[in-house]
Amino acid sequence: MGALDSFYDEESECPKCNAKIKNDWQTKDLYSLMEHWRKGDWVQYRKLEAIPEDERKRKYGDLEFAPSLQTSKEYLSDAPLLFNGKVPVHTSCRNCNAWLEAYAKVLDGRFVGVVEAEANAKPKEFVLIKLETNAETLRQEFQRKLSKVQATCKHKETKWMLMEWAPGHFYGRGLVCLRCEKIIKTRGLPETKSRPKLRGPPAEVLIRRSRNKRLKGPVRRSSRTKAARDMVFFRQAFSPTGTTSDELRRELKKGRAQDRKREQTLERRYS
């Protein structure tokens, strides 16, 4: 037994006798730092920390060469060792003693399970899956990273901003985190004659729109109806504009004052 890294998948099976594999699947294809991953774990090494002296006493007594370090919950890096791929692993079946070769599958940086187990086969080759890069995969990656930032952000600095469903068409205000841009709270704009209140949340309006193209209402900007495009449109539509309501009010006031002036000038000239 060396210092191999290992994966554990309680659902993995021996292909020869179909017994569940309850022991670890080991690999020598990573850095062999005795790390242990379970399904769903981020495939990265965890930092080591000193074991508190009293805990060490309780666990090991006066044992010589007792370990002084243990793995912490913190990872060495935000990035996984690999994003998508298959790491060769091996073990032996405790039921039929067969030597087993398999893969630990990694998707989006997480260990998802042991696959392609074979008895008495040759060790497998490391596989890195390179995903095609296009606008959609970049968008997904950005979305994944952003949601990670948003999930851990404390939203310390926030600001009420106007939100628009099309450029210049505001549907409400949102309390937006200035760091991660998460919309924490929303409020509608005050109802006026020229701007009737939207019924229901914006998402509902969009969904109704895609089911019924002739629907009259505020969300009628384009004829794009595909779900994927709707999501793009939705993101564009319901992102904060960066303008505060105060700023907008000032701009509107200025614009109206100019309009009035122009009208008065015209009246004077033609009356």
Binding site for Zn ion (CB under 5 A): 14, 16-17, 19, 93, 95-96, 98, 153, 155, 177, 179-180
Compute CA distances 225 → 89, 134, 207, 215, whole Å. 46, 22, 10, 13
**Beta strand segments in the chain, E:** 5-8, 25-27, 36-38, 46-50, 69-75, 85-92, 99-107, 110-119, 127-128, 158-166, 169-177, 183-188
The smaller minimum CB distance to Zn ion, of residues 161 and 206, is found at 161
- Chain mean position to CA 138: 13
Least spacing, CB of residue 20 vs Zn ion, in Å: 10
**Mapping DSSP to helix (H, G, I), strand (E, B) and coil, where does residue 125 land?**
coil
Q: Which residues, at least 6 apart from 70, have a Cβ–Cβ distance to it below 8 Å?
A: 48, 49, 50, 51
* Beta carbon nearer to Zn ion, 166 or 180: 180
Tell me the closest approach of the beta carbon of residue 58 to Zn ion, in angstroms: 38
User: Which C-beta is closer to Zn ion: that of 145 or that of 199?
Assistant: 145
Nearer to Zn ion, 154 or 211 (CB): 154
Instruction: Write down the least CB distance from residue 70 to Zn ion, Å.
Output: 32
User: Which is closer to Zn ion, CB of 50 or CB of 96?
Assistant: 96
| Shortest distance (Å) from residue 221 CB to Zn ion | 29
State in angstroms the smallest separation of the CB of 33 from Zn ion.
29
